[in-house]
Amino acid sequence: MSIDSSNHSESGHAESRHSDPTKKRRRRRRSSRSNKKSFDIKPSRALFALAGIALLFQASQTSLALIKAGALNSQTNQYLEYWQGKEKKDPQGFQPKPHDYEVALKGAERALETLPDSPEQWVLKARVLEWGQRYNLEPKVDDLQQSPLLTSWETAIQLRPAWPYAWADYAMDRAQYSLIDDKFTAALMRANELGPWELRVQQLSATLGLHYKGFLAPELQHTLDASLQRYEKLDPRAAKKLIEQYTK
């Protein structure tokens, strides 16, 4: 028996013309689900884009702040280097000009406004204020504990407590105000714990140990004497000169 191919073909065309309506409904549902998925994805992409824009904006603002602070710091450091050189050449006759001091301090303060959480900026301000304290360019304060110089060091230490030289300089500046107290002792002990081989720590510790010898607590005096011994090994000539200043 032969199969009539023509009849089979016609029936196939008829079926294609009259497709099952349930299939259409399924296609519509799938299309609807697909549209929903694409709609759901768009907001998340928008959020990622906004987050990226925010990060780029923050990065650009940080870069601008660093550039501005860098320019201000360059000017301030030029004053510090100039004063140091002049003082070294003429320690008796040198005196920073009040106007120059105001400009240098203003530069340090403006840089701090740009980067208020930078310990380096607080250290730089303290360096400028040391010159003001040394040459009476800073106004007198009733409470020395609240002097701008000491509070600048304290802020720098809070932001970066692992810097040994900051502790040592803080102790030295407390001594400049004759504040030989618990904070002075704690600062020197901490400096020698964190950086016993730091040259700056050795210089200041040796100086203070010799200057206040006989007036300090035994534990602190022992720590400072040990620092002087390390200083003698690291820089014998400078250490010998320092010892001679206090033994003549």
Transcribe 125-138 into DSSP letters.
Answer: HHHHHHHHHHTT-S
Task: Check whether residue 67 and residue 107 sit in a common domain.
Answer: yes
Same domain, 171 and 152: no
Per-residue pLDDT tens digits for 178-210: 999 999 999 999 999 999 999 999 999 999 999
Count of domains in the chain?
2
Give yes or no: residues 66 and 131 share one domain: yes
Q: Is residue 31 part of a domain?
A: no
- With a cut of 90, say whether residue 116 has pLDDT above it: yes
Give the pLDDT confidence of 53-78 residue by residue, as tens digits.
655 545 455 565 556 566 679 999 99
pLDDT of residue 18: 47
Please tell me which residue, 58 or 176, carries the higher pLDDT value. 176
State whether 174 and 104 are in the same domain. Answer: no
Q: In sequence order, what E strands does the chain have?
A: none
| 200 within a domain of the structure (yes/no) | yes
Q: Note whether residue 96 is domain-resident.
A: yes
Percent of the chain whose pLDDT exceeds 70:
71
Residue 44 in domain: no
In terms of domains, do 86 and 141 share one?
yes
Tokens of residue 115, six digits: 């980067």
What whole-number distance in Å separates Cα of residue 96 and Cα of residue 85? 11
Q: How confident is the model at residue 248 (pLDDT cuts 50, 70, 90)?
A: confident
**Rounded distance, CA 87 to CA 91, Å?**
5
| Whole-angstrom distance, CA of residue 181 vs CA of residue 141 | 19
Q: Which of residues 6 and 28 earns the better pLDDT score?
A: 28
| Pair 106, 60 in one domain | yes
Residues 105 and 92 reside in one and the same domain: yes
Residue 153 sits in the same domain as residue 234: no
- Closest among 214, 165, 160, 224 to 189, alpha carbons compared: 224
Give the pLDDT score at 110.
Answer: 94
Task: Tell whether 65 and 143 lie within a shared domain.
Answer: yes
The letter for the amino acid at 98 is: P
From 134, 160, 186, give the residue that closes a domain: 160
Q: Which domain holds residue 217?
A: 164-248
Mean pLDDT of the chain: 83
Please tell me the pTM assigned to this model.
Answer: 0.73
173 domain-assigned: yes
List the one residue out of 124, 74, 105 whose CA is nearest residue 96.
105
What contacts 111, CB < 8 A, 6 or more positions away?
68, 69, 72, 73, 76, 121, 124
The residue-averaged pLDDT of 227-238 equals 97
Among residues 128, 112, 120, the alpha carbon closest in space to that of 65 is found at 112
Same domain, 96 and 108: yes
Residue 78 lies in a domain: yes
Give the residue from 107, 141, 160 where a domain finishes.
Answer: 160
Q: Which residues of 9-33 are buried (b: 16+ CB within 10 A; e: fewer)?
A: eeeeeeeeeeeeeeeeeeeeeeeee
Q: What is the model's pLDDT at position 14?
A: 41
In what helix (H) or strand (E) does residue 119 lie, and over which residues does it extend? helix 119-134
Residue 237 and residue 179 in one domain: yes
Residue 168 pLDDT greater than 50, yes or no: yes
Give the end-to-end CA distance of the chain in Å, rounded to a whole number. Answer: 136
> Are 168 and 121 members of one domain?
no
Q: What is the CATH number of the domain that holds 139?
A: 1.25.40
Residue 143 inside a domain? The answer is yes
Query: 34 in the Ramachandran plot: left (φ > 0), alpha (ψ -120 to 50) or beta?
Result: alpha
Quickly count: other Cβ atoms within 10 Å of residue 213's Cβ.
Answer: 12
